[in-house]
Amino acid sequence: MPVMRSNSWIPSVFSDLFDTDFVPKNNYTAPAINVKESSKAYTVELAAPGMKKEDFNVHINDEGNLIIKMESKQEHKDEDKNTRYLRREFSYSKFEQTLILPDDVKKEDIKARVDNGVLTVELPKVVEEKVKLSRQIDIA
């Protein structure tokens, strides 16, 4: 009779208990990013549910690229000397994205905000004044 081995130190009974719709497995994926363009600006939206303003770092590097970093650590502790842990959940999220900015972005006016779990970065465009080509030419 073959012996089944499990990589998990938690018995399969507990795995069946924890891996349900009520306690889903954690899937680690990069946040979704939307990039929109209007006549006046580009807008970058990054979905980060549960993240706060303090969890983000948005800056422009020496090469003129936009760097978005996100890092969050959460530890849930329930101290009880009469019990021992069979499973303990720690949450750690880290994400970094580099965006190459177009030449028409006015880098000194970039703004960012977090609202309802969405980081929004506004990248205003350089306003080019159109030079009027029509003029009166004097006849000599």
Cα–Cα distances in Å, from 61 out to 46, 66, 67, 101? 19, 7, 7, 11
Distance of CA 22 to the CA centre of its chain: 26
Q: Decide: 135 and 80 in contact? Cβ < 8 Å.
A: no
Give me 122's structure tokens.
Answer: 């506004």
Buried b (16+ CB within 10 A) or exposed e, 74-111: eeeeeeeeeeeeeeeeeeebebeeebeeeeebeeeebe
pTM for the predicted model, two decimal places: 0.62
Q: What average pLDDT is seen over the chain?
A: 77
The model's pLDDT over 32-76, given as tens digits with 9 standing for 90+, comes to 899 999 999 999 999 988 888 898 999 999 999 999 999 877 665
